[in-house]
Chains A and B, each alone.
Chain A
Amino acid sequence: MSAVITANGLTKRYKSALALDNTSFQIEPGRIVGLIGPNGAGKTTALKAILGLTDFSGELNVLGFDPRKQRDKLMGEVCFIADVAVLPRWIKVSQAIDFVANVHPRFDRKKCEAFLARTKLQPDQRVRQMSKGMIVQLHLALVMAIDARLLILDEPTLGLDILYRKQFYQNLLEDYFDENKTIIVTTHQVEEVEHILTDLMFIRDGRIVLDADMDAVGERFIEVMVGADKADAARALKPIDERQVFGKSIFLFDGANRAVLEQLGETRRPSISDLFVATMKGTYA
């Protein structure tokens, strides 16, 4: 199957800064891609470019459309949840459903109502009377009832409590995702998405600095816990990061020989957040 998104030489310059710096990447169908980066790295700009919400230079093909010229057609195949509370405050639950049901050809009303039945939302309730968590529940119910090929989530769980956050990703995995769909998610709460991602992209200063599937990440990056006696030997192998825990040193290696590392100490796959911190070192310096 052909790629869902093909980007070539994406560049976007705001007045003061370069948000996307000649970036190229490809996203295959049936993946859940985590686009992770520090604040101001260009995550949201990249998503906006994909959604046709901003102008840019370079080539971008999303599901066969050019988002700059065919945004309205593209939106028939793509769904989008921005960070919480972008639903209009005056709208009622029933109005939101009516509206989307009548303007979106791929919306399944029954599905949406079934999702909402599991929540406390009432048809007469207005968005302005809802908590942040409820707004996201409504938005998610609307989006999950749309049979789209690409779902883009930009900080979807920002400001939600743990219950809502867990439930959000659980719903997505159980009731929405399948091999025909692709999800791109950006978030700072990396630990929460870690176990659902199939692919990982790190973005920094408008460039993709890491782009790999999770299996490849597990092979390429190795964390070793080393006793003080072997720390110097480990340092000689040029780790990309080192930190101390309980008198032991934890080293993070990129592409080192696994057999060699296993002689130094206990090896394991690094968490995305540790990998992120190591990769982004010096971003704000």
Chain B
Amino acid sequence: MKTFYWLVKREFWEHRGGFFWAPVITGGIFLLLNIMGIITAEVLGARQGISFGASGGLRKVIEGMDAGDMSKVGFALDIAMYSAMGLLIVVLGFVVFFYCLGALYDDRRDRSILFWKSLPISDASTVLSKVVSATVVAPIVAVIVGIIVGMLQLLIVAITLSFHGVNVWQLLVLAHPFKVMFNLIGYIPLYVLWAAPAVGWLLICSAWARSKPFLWAVALPVGAGLLVSWFGIMGLFNLPATWFWKNIVQRALFSVFPGTGSIFSADSDNMVSHVTGNGSDVLDLVNTWHLAASPNLWIGVVIGAALLAGATWFRRWRDDS
């Protein structure tokens, strides 16, 4: 266990840029853009002589709201928190994608694999430490950064409005930061399962390719997809060619992007219909975890495990250093 902890730590040392600085910088840019947007709006507003805060217009609006409207305000504030996460999720997807592609390839290229292999560490734990780094460590860091950025975002909105004489601090109570946190953190285990086939595929390419793992990882599924479409092979199984694209190509390459589970999943139509009440519940764990009932997820997990076993085998026997 101690060894495994240090293996994961080793990954974090090596990939501090992707795992830590990428989300931090993205979050920083997100906040900066928001502040710039607010300043622009303020400047334009002042020039046009619109001063809705001072005239008490907004305050009146707030005072005039009933309970239903208040919950909508809370919902809007939650969305403000999620919005920071949206950008981070895209960045996280790219980070995980390229991390997996390089994880079992880079040290073969620079021959430092000879050093790692001279230590009493099994190849299975090496591969597993990379899986955990990609699907657990990286998302946890991104979620923590996302939550902090989301909080700051709320704070900025609140401060801006209070300059206009609106006491928004009372409105902040309407937001559900803990629920947002809970939903985001609770999504991580689902992400581990959903990303399994893509992580497996990228890692096996990383362990197997003698050069250009990116090219192989993308060219093989896309090439296969083109062949399937061209010759109509899926017709043999009474399935359309899009089935292959959707269930093989997309799953192999894009499942590392968080949230794609809810979008790609075959019964995503049903999922939307599960959603009741207001829109932010889409991200409620009760809704997101519906995915756990889909065979698509579990078949992916099985295939992912098989691919990881293959990656471990290649890690063990690939001999080119």
Contacts and interface: CB of A to CB of B under 8 A. Distances in A.
Interface in B273-321: 316-317, 319, 321
A48 B319 contact: yes
Contacts of A79: 118
Contacts of A89: 110, 112
A95 interface: yes
B238 interface: no
A87 B117 contact: no
B107 interface: yes
A198 B1 CA distance: 41
Interface residue range, chain B: 20 to 34
Nearest to A82: B114
B14 A86 contact: no
Contact of B114 (A74, A86, A100, A104): A86
B107 to A, nearest CB: 7
Contact of B117 (A71, A76, A95, A98): A71
A54 to B, nearest CB: 5
Interface string A83-108: 00111111100010011101111000
Contacts of B163: none
* A48, A86, A105 pick with most chain B CB within 10 angstroms: A86
A91 B13 contact: yes
A72 B122 contact: yes
A73 interface: yes
A104 B13 contact: no
Contacts of B6: 98-99, 102-103
Nearest to A91: B13
* A48, A76, A90, A91 pick with most chain B CB within 10 angstroms: A90
Interface in A131-179: 139
A53 interface: yes
A85 B5 CA distance: 26
Contacts of B317: 55
Contact of A76 (B9, B120, B316): B120
Given A72-B120, A75-B118, A103-B3, A54 B111 contact: no
A80 interface: yes
Contacts of A55: 317, 319
Nearest to B5: A102
B47 interface: no
B220 interface: no
Contacts of A73: 120
Contact of B110 (A51, A54, A71, A88): A88
Interface string B1-36: 011011101100110000000000000000000000
Contact of B112 (A71, A88, A98): A88
Interface in B153-197: none
Contacts of A139: 115
Contacts of B117: 51, 53, 71, 75
Nearest to B3: A103
Interface in A171-190: none
Nearest to A78: B118
Contacts of A53: 114, 117, 319, 321
Contact of B13 (A51, A72, A90): A90
A139 B115 CA distance: 9
A79 B6 CA distance: 20
Nearest to B116: A88
A79 to B, nearest CB: 7
B119 A100 contact: yes
Interface in B222-246: none
Given A51-B118, A99-B6, A102-B6, 6 more contacts: A75-B117, A85-B111, A87-B112, A87-B115, A90-B14, A102-B3
28 contacts: A51-B118, A53-B114, A53-B319, A54-B319, A55-B317, A71-B117, A72-B120, A72-B121, A72-B122, A74-B120, A76-B120, A78-B118, A80-B114, A86-B112, A87-B112, A87-B115, A88-B110, A88-B115, A88-B116, A89-B110, A90-B14, A99-B10, A100-B119, A102-B2, A102-B5, A103-B2, A103-B119, A139-B115
Interface of A: 48, 51, 53-55, 71-76, 78-82, 85-91, 95, 98-100, 102-105, 139
The 4 closest A-B pairs by CB, nearest first: A88-B112, A80-B118, A76-B120, A72-B122
Interface of B: 2-3, 5-7, 9-10, 13-14, 107, 110-123, 316-317, 319, 321
